[in-house]
Amino acid sequence: MNAEALEARLAQARAWLRQDPDAETRDELAGVITRAAAGDAAAAADLDDRFGARLAFGTAGLRGELGAGSNRMNRVLVSQAAAGFAAYLRERAGGATPTVVVGYDGRRNSRRFALDSAELFAGAGLHAILLPRLLPTPVLAFAVRHLAADAGVMVTASHNRPNDNGYKVYLGGADAGSQIVSPADAEIAAHIQQVADAGDISALPRSTEYETAGEDVVNAYIAATAAVAPAPASAKGLTWVYTAMHGVGWETFARILDAAGYPRPKTVGEQLSPDATFRTVAFPNPEEPGAMDLAFAAARRTRADFILANDPDADRLAVAIPDESADGGWRRLSGNEIGLLLGARAARAHAGTPGASLACSLVSSPGLAAIAAHHGLDFHETLTGFKWISRAPGIVFGFEEALGYLVNPETVRDKDGISAAVAVLGLAAEANERGKTIADLLADLGETYGHFASGQVSIRVDDLSIIGKVMLALRMLPPTRIGDTAIASAEDLLEAAPGQPSGDVLRYRLADGSRVIVRPSGTEPKLKVYLDAQADSAAEARDVVSALEAGVRTLLEERS
């Protein structure tokens, strides 16, 4: 960085420092400024990273690393976002007083960001309602609908790294409590930028005259979720393990189990209470290697029938079952396997209902379409993200392969790992009554709807530009084969037809009927490749996916 550029960055950082109300990030930034001004090249590069860009507000809201600067999550950025969102809501309300609900989880600074938001919403003249304590994301999504609010904000980074946090936005009214989609994201971002350009968050009006919601909101969520699958008598015979992955799921889930009549599980005590350091896992995501090792150990000790795991904000659900062929004797089901189990459950309940539909993202298993057709239901394929899935016409069930499931759309228009857990418990209890297991239910799916298998190749990067380069290389030099199998057709969803899902996605259909989809992750620094196959048997379908995985890794090495 030359001297002129450094001075510009130092000026930005000093202006930021003057408005920062957080002593920790002020001290952090002051140290970087001092070292950079003294000629420390590493500090100058750090300063450029913090202020060379702005953490973008999009359809996923905000999400990023905690720290000082416009490219980090902090009180300045959150205050700008809250004030900008308030301006958007007032404009949208056309003179009425908007109501906005604010929730938060157990991550670092979540409560502080939620309080800042509530104070700024109230100061802007909105009716702001703060949830009574740290709670799962699905409770906030429920509260938006239950309280007929105009909007909701959840402070969470879900299953991201320990030092991340985020700001997820929902809209009520015609949006029915779903997460925002375009063009709302751009309109909100424009209002946030106006606040940022004004330059001093200390000038924004604040008020402590916000409302704190009572327990009745939480109780209503508990009652609605317990009703998803009340326990049959056979539930008493279940032995199972639960982990909250150091998140906020257990308190609410435990009360729902009691209300629905299910036996309490054996719990992973080390991971049961909220812990912002996530001390027992390298990465607090049930999909990540090692994240469920403690749950597997507990299941082996107790000879459990299955394991249920929520991610830290409890909007996702993982399920694991005994499997002698797996390392350690336990196997985590894929999101597609769980999605098809729950999809078949919903399809049986709504079979033949006019207008009722199943929906999943375009990267999720095509098996859901087969289930919908079998039961005479409509089917919708959407872009990735529950902001799209939840908007599918007539939806009675939706899922995404990344462990997200929407099982009660009349009350929560977002993925909900707690209601999904109750639904899985219902399936397990019914199977137990017939002398069957969850593994047997999976086998039954194949016999009824066809044998589908899926897989995924994920490449995590430190430099996001690498993902863009790989996507560009695949477009400029299109592959003709993946492994030994020819590509029959290729679609670039950046060029999708009107009315079809569009985005930075490449979809390949192979000569053997299998499918490969490549896309950048929307929430993590990853390139994701999704593999799907259908065959005459489960073993054959798995073999096709294994061959695809090897072919994809070779292809990505060639294009990297």
Domain extent listing, the chain? 1-52, 57-212, 214-449, 452-559
Model confidence at 547: pLDDT above 70: yes
Residue 358 is encoded by which pair of tokens? Answer: 């199943």
- A 10 A CB-CB count for 488 gives 12
**Please, what CATH class does the domain formed by 57-212 belong to?**
alpha beta
Alpha-carbon distance of 369 to 210, in angstroms, equals 45
- A 10 A CB-CB count for 492 gives 15
Q: What is the pTM of this model?
A: 0.94
Model confidence at 382: pLDDT above 80: yes
Whole-angstrom distance between the N-terminal and C-terminal Cα of the chain?
28
- Please work out, in degrees rounded to the nearest 5, the angle formed at the alpha carbon of residue 515 by the alpha carbons of 321 and 335: 25
Model confidence at 501: pLDDT above 90: no
What's the rounded mean pLDDT across residues 186-211? Answer: 96
Is there a catalytic annotation at residue 207? no
Predicted local distance difference test score (pLDDT) of residue 194: 97
CA distances from 443 to 35, 330, 357, 451, 538 (A): 62, 17, 24, 9, 8
Cα R_g (the chain), whole angstroms: 24
Model confidence at 496: pLDDT above 80: no
**Residue 454's closest CA among 379, 527, 366, 392?**
366
Predicted local distance difference test score (pLDDT) of residue 179: 96
CA distances from 237 to 28, 284, 439 (A): 54, 30, 17
| pLDDT, mean over the chain | 95
Cα 129 to the center of its chain, rounded Å: 23
Alpha-carbon distance of 76 to 70, in angstroms, equals 8
**214-449 shares the fold of 57-212:** yes
Predicted local distance difference test score (pLDDT) of residue 431: 97
The predicted-structure confidence for 408-461, as pLDDT tens digits, reads as follows: 999 999 999 999 999 999 999 999 999 999 999 999 999 999 999 999 998 888
Query: What kind of fold does domain 452-559 have according to CATH?
Result: TATA-Binding Protein (3.30.310)
- A 10 A CB-CB count for 145 gives 20
Catalytic residue among 70, 110, 117, 158: 158
The predicted-structure confidence for 129-161, as pLDDT tens digits, reads as follows: 999 999 999 999 999 999 999 999 999 999 999
Model confidence at 499: pLDDT above 70: no
CA distances from 551 to 217, 413, 480, 532 (A): 50, 37, 12, 13
Model confidence at 261: pLDDT above 80: yes
Alpha-carbon distance of 338 to 341, in angstroms, equals 5
User: Which CATH architecture fits 214-449?
Assistant: 3-Layer(aba) Sandwich (3.40)
Higher pLDDT, 464 or 250: 250
Taking each helix axis from N to C end, the angle separating 3-19 and 41-51, rounded to the nearest 10 degrees, works out to 60
